[in-house]
Structure 1
Amino acid sequence: MTPDCKARCPVDGTHPDESHLRIALALAAAGVPPLPLRAGKVPFGNCQACKGNACGGRPNMKNAGPCECASICHAWAAATTDPAVIASPPWAAAWRQAVCVGYHPGGAGLTVVDLDNAEAITWAQSTLPTTRTVSTTRGEHWIYRGTMASRNAVRPGVDIKSTMSYARFLGPGTGTMTALPDAVRALAVKEPPTARPAPHAVAVPAEGGGGECRHRTPAYLDRGIAMAEQRITGASSGVHTTVYRTFLAVLSAHGRCGCLTDAHVVRLFAAAQAKGESPRHCTDAWANARTKLGL
């Protein structure tokens, strides 16, 4: 097997797609699910029927259902150990266009610590237990037994590739593979906030009425806040943008009359966080909306 799939013409004279296919079948036989990667070391795009995830996605993909497409769709989720699929006609065109072979580490029960430069390698050598190592163009892959959540840029020059991710296959590597250590798992853990930060109090100059709400009745404000909550809750995509625009609309309508209270802002933040926004994103969006309006 030619371990380095960077070259388009293997040294054994085999046509590139045949070499890639041979590597992929060998990986599959070893229980490692491969997939072809095109120029730029990225997966092939979805077919027309699956474009925009209209098909519902592949099994085991986040928020996606089954997909019966036989094409090379859905990136890492297309990786398989089924030799009949790997060598099937739908995959043949992809192997002909592929520049290298990728694989799904999580599907093989593995985690790859991708060290992108010499500084990252030095850090790993002084911090992480030794394991199987594969040389890359700019650094090294350290491969451990065990899976975890994938996450990029866990520290300068260091990415983690395991579940719901893919890595480039660059050969079997050297050294004995060891169990995934807690030191690696800890890298992907986002520090939870110790407490929900208090929303910014809206202390802005009153507009003419000495602080009296120009809307006269609290019911008007309550309806406005309720509608804003519904707008955020109903967002099916673009949540960041929806939250910011909703905050902007609320502040535009109520930010200058002094009627907004912390209780109202907490309601808006709670709606945003229920849609997956972090407290920091909420605070930033609120501050940006105030800045936009000059409050």
Structure 2
Amino acid sequence: MTHRTDIARDHARPALPTQLRTALQLAELGLPVLPLREGKVPFGNCRTCKHSACGDRPHMKAGGPCECPAPCHGWAAATTDPDILTSPAWARAWRQAQAVAYHPGGAALTVVDLDHADAIAWARENLPATKTVTTTRGEHWIYLGTMTSHNAVRPGVDIKSAWSYARWLGPGTGKMALLPDAVRALAVKEPATAAPATSAVVVPAPPGDAVCRHRSPAYLERGIAMAEQRITEASEAIHRTVYRTFLVVLSAHGWCGCLTDNHIGRLFTAAQEKGESLRHCEVAWSNARMKLGM
């Protein structure tokens, strides 16, 4: 039975700011969120970090959550923790917030930000269809998968994923597709001058390696086979085994561009045969890439 005192107490509770209510709903869906102030930019540094006195870059390079009590350091403040979002330290920011942003990379997503009609036309001709969100000037195309963020990869096109934030503008329409190689390729800078037609393309080797070992088919095949076996023979902690196996494969074979869709498909198949969903495989792969800074 509800007592009148309980009803009076509920009515006495202050209503949550609209932006905070939206943020809490998104956090429940697994999207790390943060408030944006006027001008659609994150709130400034707290007193401790005024003018970046703490050194934002190392903090951001680590990819860890912001340790300041109030929203600070842009995307690094994004969180799914309702206790942080509703804490007194964040209250002032939510009262002043003009919009809500989220960290795509933290949710294993990549946003292709298309700023005008020409960029949208280009995307429709060159990128696979995916979930689309209308923005004030163009569209956000959202893919499942994580990569490093890059601005101005072509006229009117930005990529927002790891180490970045995107404004929440609604759920959008369409079915989300996996992050295609065509988007990853946008982040690869063209050489300043074209190489002669007879020159071979040289792939930078990891420190300490004079030659890319992965040019040997046997070396790469052995690594993929061992990874498949490790997943197949796992009897417990399947989630953890899949993620750690992906991490090992990427750390050994992911820097030289030798991994193909066939190799990745074999790993995903082994994981799915152990009961993992395609969604979990994609998230585990993206998280492993993000962990290694790929």
Query: 2: distance between equivalents of 1:52 and 1:81?
Result: 26
Counterpart residue number, 2:163: 164
Post-superposition, which runs of at least 4 consecutive aligned residues in structure 1 deviate over 4 A? 56-60, 63-67, 192-196
State the one-letter code of the partner of 2:119: A
Work out which of the two has the higher radius of gyration on C-alpha atoms and give 1 or 2. 1
RMSD of Structure 2 on Structure 1 (CA): 2.5
State the one-letter code of the partner of 2:27: A
Per-residue CA distance 1:46-74 (angstroms, 9 max, x = gap): 01111233335498612688863211110
Counterpart residue number, 1:70: 69
Counterpart residue number, 1:112: 111
Distance of aligned partners of 1:53 and 1:29 in 2 relative to their CA distance in 1, 3 Å threshold: same
Shift of 1:38: 0.6
Query: 2: distance between equivalents of 1:195 and 1:125?
Result: 28
SS in 1 for 2:140: strand
Query: 2: distance between equivalents of 1:167 and 1:78?
Result: 13
Q: Which segments of 5 or more consecutive residues in structure 1 lack a partner in the other structure?
A: 1-14, 197-295
TM-score, normalization by structure 2: 0.58
Contact 1:121 1:140 in 2 (8 A): yes
Shift of 1:187: 0.4
Contact 1:56 1:64 in 2 (8 A): no
State the one-letter code of the partner of 1:90: A
Query: 2: distance between equivalents of 1:58 and 1:85?
Result: 23
Query: Is 1:149–2:148 an aligned residue pair?
Result: yes
Contact 2:65 2:78 in 1 (8 A): no
Contact 2:63 2:163 in 1 (8 A): no
Query: Is 1:186–2:210 an aligned residue pair?
Result: no
Contact 2:111 2:161 in 1 (8 A): yes
Count of aligned positions: 182
State the one-letter code of the partner of 1:26: Q
Distance of aligned partners of 1:153 and 1:76 in 2 relative to their CA distance in 1, 3 Å threshold: same
Q: Which segments of 5 or more consecutive residues in structure 2 lack a partner in the other structure?
A: 1-13, 196-294
State the one-letter code of the partner of 1:184: V
Per-residue CA distance 1:231-252 (angstroms, 9 max, x = gap): xxxxxxxxxxxxxxxxxxxxxx
SS in 2 for 1:172: coil
Query: 1: distance between equivalents of 2:111 and 2:95?
Result: 27
Contact 1:16 1:96 in 2 (8 A): no
Query: 1: distance between equivalents of 2:22 and 2:65?
Result: 27
What percentage of residue pairs aligned between the two structures are identical?
Answer: 70
Please identify which structure carries the higher helix content.
Answer: 2
Contact 2:111 2:160 in 1 (8 A): yes
Per-residue CA distance 1:112-132 (angstroms, 9 max, x = gap): 000111111111011000000
SS in 2 for 1:61: helix
